[in-house]
């Protein structure tokens, strides 16, 4: 795992994990016959606009995770991470 990523990239990672756990709980709740285990809806159900914004942020975060962040800090971090094993092979 590469270290030294930018803050938006790290936030995206956390939001994708939270979104995945939320969807896992929704599915588990459906299988167990419960009405809903949607944690975002349980917390923000009285504020549908804020709930929609959270879902939108999780979706944008997923797109960032798919395509990767192209900022200078992330590009440099990934370059050093991917060149690490090649340096080790050359030293053997």
pLDDT values of the chain reduced to their tens digit, one per residue, 92 residues = 556 678 888 899 999 999 999 999 989 988 988 777 888 888 888 899 999 999 999 999 999 889 888 888 887 777 776 654 444 444 44
28, 61, 80 from 39: Cα distances, Å:
12, 18, 38
Task: Give per-residue pLDDT as tens, 23-49.
Answer: 999 899 889 887 778 888 888 888 999
* Integer Cα distance of 40 and 55 in angstroms: 9
Q: Classify residue 87: in a domain, yes or no.
A: no
* Integer Cα distance of 90 and 2 in angstroms: 20
* Structure tokens that stand for 64 in this block: 């960032």
**5 burial via Cβ count (<10 Å: 0-12, 13-18, 19+):** buried
Range of the domain at 40: 7-67
- pTM of this structure: 0.70
- Number of domains the chain is built from: 1
Would you state the pLDDT for residue 2?
59
Q: Classify residue 28: in a domain, yes or no.
A: yes
Q: Classify residue 41: in a domain, yes or no.
A: yes
């Amino acid at each position: 795992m590469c270290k030294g990523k930018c803050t938006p990239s790290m936030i995206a990672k956390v939001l994708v994990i939270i979104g995945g756990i939320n969807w896992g709980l929704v599915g588990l709740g459906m299988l167990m016959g419960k009405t809903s285990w949607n944690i975002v809806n349980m917390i923000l159900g009285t504020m549908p606009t804020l709930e929609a914004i959270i879902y939108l942020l999780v979706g944008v975060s997923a797109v960032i995770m798919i395509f990767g962040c192209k900022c200078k800090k992330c590009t440099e971090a990934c370059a050093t991470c991917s060149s690490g094993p090649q340096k080790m092979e050359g030293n053997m």
